[in-house]
Amino acid sequence: MSKGESDATAPVNAGEPAAKQENENENGDGKSALREEKAPPAEFEPPEGGWGWVVMLAAMWCNGSVFGIQNAFGILFVYLLKEFGSEDDEDLRFRTAWVGSLSMGMIFFCSPIVSVFTDLFGCRITAVGGAAVGFVGLVASSVVRSLGALYFTYGIVFACGCSFAYQPSLVILGHYFKRRLGLVNGIVTAGSSVFTITLPYVLTGLLERVGLYNTLRVLSIFMFILVLAGFTYKPILPKPESSGKTGGRCPALNRVFNLKIWKSLGYRIWAFGIPAALYGYFVPYVHLMKHVEERFGEGTNKELLLMCIGITSGVGRLIFGQLADYVPGVNKVFLQVSSFLVIGVMSMMIPLCNIFGGLIAVCLLMGLFDGCFICIMAPIAFELVGSQNVSQAIGFLLGMMSVPMTVGPPIAGFLRDRLGSYDVAFYLAGIPPIIGGAVLCLIPWVETRRRRKGEEAATDAAEKMLEQKSADAQDDAGAREKTDDPESIV
C-alpha cells in the first residue's frame, strides 16, 4: 500500500464500522487492481543483428582459436613423440596422448564452473579472464621440457583458460539472436573449421622451421587476440527478477546452482546421451595422423585429411545450422542423432581403407556430420531449458562430456602400444556414437508428452477459473438483489 493510501485510511479507522468496512472493501479492490496491473514482463526479443554481428565475429575467432588448436593436436602429437621419447618406449603413445586428452577434457570439465562465473560476472569478464589464462598457459608450455610439465601447462592451465573463453561465446549469441540463432551458431562454429583447415599446414611449416617451442609461442598470439575479442561481449539480456521473500544466502545459491534445469527429463536424457556418444569422438583427431604414417608411410600428405575434415565440417555447420532454424522445437535432436550414426560408422571404416583416397572420403563425411553435431548444441539447449537457464545447461553438459573426451585417446594409444596397430582402437571408437544417438531419439517423444500434459493442465485450470468466475458472478447478482429488495431493509 502506498503512503497516500495509508494517510487516507487513517481517519477512517476511528470512524463508524460501516465506513471502516467500506474502506476495507475499497482497499481490497485496490490490491486486486495492483495484482492485475503487475503482469509478467513481456518476453525479451533479441535485436537479430546490430552489434550482434560484431559479437558473432568475435565468437567465431574464439571457436577457431580454441578448437582449431585442439583439432590440430595430431600434428603436435607426432612432434611430441620425437621430442620426448623413442619408438622403443612401449607406453610412449599412451603417455603422450594424455597431453592432448587432458587439454580437450579440461575444456569441458571446467564448463559447470564457467557457467556459474558467467551467471555471476557476465560473459565479458569471464571470456576475457579465460583468454588471458589460456595465453599464460601456452607461453608456459613453450618453456617447459618434460611431458609431466606439459600435462599442467598445456593440459590444465591452457585448457582451463580456453574453457572460460569458449562457453561465453555460445551464451552471448542468445542475447542478440533468436530467429537466426541456428544460422549464427553455424557461422560461429565454422570458425574452428577454418582454423582446422589452415592450422595443420601452418603448424607443419612452423615445426619444421622454428621447432616445437617457438611454434607454441606463435600459437599464444591467437589467445592474445582472443582477449581483445572478449571485450565485445556486451550483455543485453534482462536479468531475471529475484524474489525478495527469501533472505540470507538463498538467492545467491539459486544463482550459483541452477537445479531447475534438471527437472526437465528431456534435458537429463540429452545430458547423459551425448557424453555416452563421445568416448570415441576425439580419437581420430589425436591418432589419425600417426595411423596414416604407419599405414601409408611418413611421406604421405597426412595434413590433407585434417583439411578435409575442416572443410566439410565448416560446410556442415553452415548447412545444418540453417536447416535447424526450420526444424521445429526439440526435433532438432534428430539432426544430432543422424550425425552420431554417421560419425560412428565412419570411425569403423578408417581401418578398412587400404587406399588413401578412401580415407579422404571417410574424412569428408566425418567432417560434414561433425559440423552438424557441433552447430546445433546451443539451439537444442535453448529449446529444452529456455534462454534464462541456457548458460548452466550448456555448462553441465560440457562438464559431463569431459570424461569421455579425456579417456578416449589414451585408451586408443594403449591399444596401439599393446596390439601393434590402431585397427581395434578405431573399431571400438565407432560404437559409442551409435549407442548415444539411439538414446537421444527418446527426447522428442518425452518433450511431446510433457507439452501435452502441460496443455491439458492449462486447459483444466482455465475451465476451473471460468467456473469460479461464473460462481462469483452469480453470488454478486444475488447480493445485489438482496440490496435492492425493500423488505431486506430494517
Residue type, position 408, single letter? G
**Which of 271, 284, 62, 73 is closest to 185 using CA atoms?**
62
What CATH code is carried by the domain that includes residue 284? 1.20.1250.20
Concatenated DSSP letters of 440-466: HTHHHHHHHHHHHHHHHHHHHHHHHHH
The pLDDT assigned to 478 comes to 66
The pLDDT assigned to 378 comes to 78
CB 375 within 8 A of CB 185: yes
The pLDDT assigned to 138 comes to 94
The pLDDT assigned to 170 comes to 81
Alpha carbon 69 to its chain's center:
19
In angstroms, the CA 316 to CA 367 distance is 7
The pLDDT assigned to 296 comes to 86
| Residue 198 CB contacts under 8 Å (≥ 6 apart), including other chains | 68, 310
477 in any annotated domain: no
In angstroms, the CA 315 to CA 369 distance is 10
The pLDDT assigned to 481 comes to 64
What would the grid cell of residue 144 be?
Answer: 617447459
The pLDDT assigned to 1 comes to 42
The pLDDT assigned to 151 comes to 92
26 in any annotated domain: no
Low-confidence stretches of the chain (pLDDT < 50) are 1-40, 243-251, 488-490
Q: What is the mean pLDDT of the chain?
A: 80
**How many structural domains is the chain composed of?**
1
242 in any annotated domain: no
Range of the domain at 310: 52-235+256-449
Helix (H) or strand (E) holding 385: helix 377-385
67 in any annotated domain: yes
The pLDDT assigned to 489 comes to 43
The pLDDT assigned to 28 comes to 46
13 in any annotated domain: no
Which pTM value belongs to this model?
A: 0.67
The pLDDT assigned to 35 comes to 43
The pLDDT assigned to 21 comes to 47
Backbone torsions φ then ψ of 379, nearest 5 degrees:
-60, -40
41 in any annotated domain: no
In angstroms, the CA 301 to CA 290 distance is 12
390 in any annotated domain: yes
In angstroms, the CA 472 to CA 484 distance is 18
Neighbours of 361 (CB within 10 A): 14
20 in any annotated domain: no
For 139-169, what is each residue's pLDDT tens digit? 999 999 888 899 999 999 999 999 999 989 8
Residue type, position 488, single letter? S
CB 62 within 8 A of CB 229: yes
Give me Rg for the CA atoms of the chain. Answer: 29
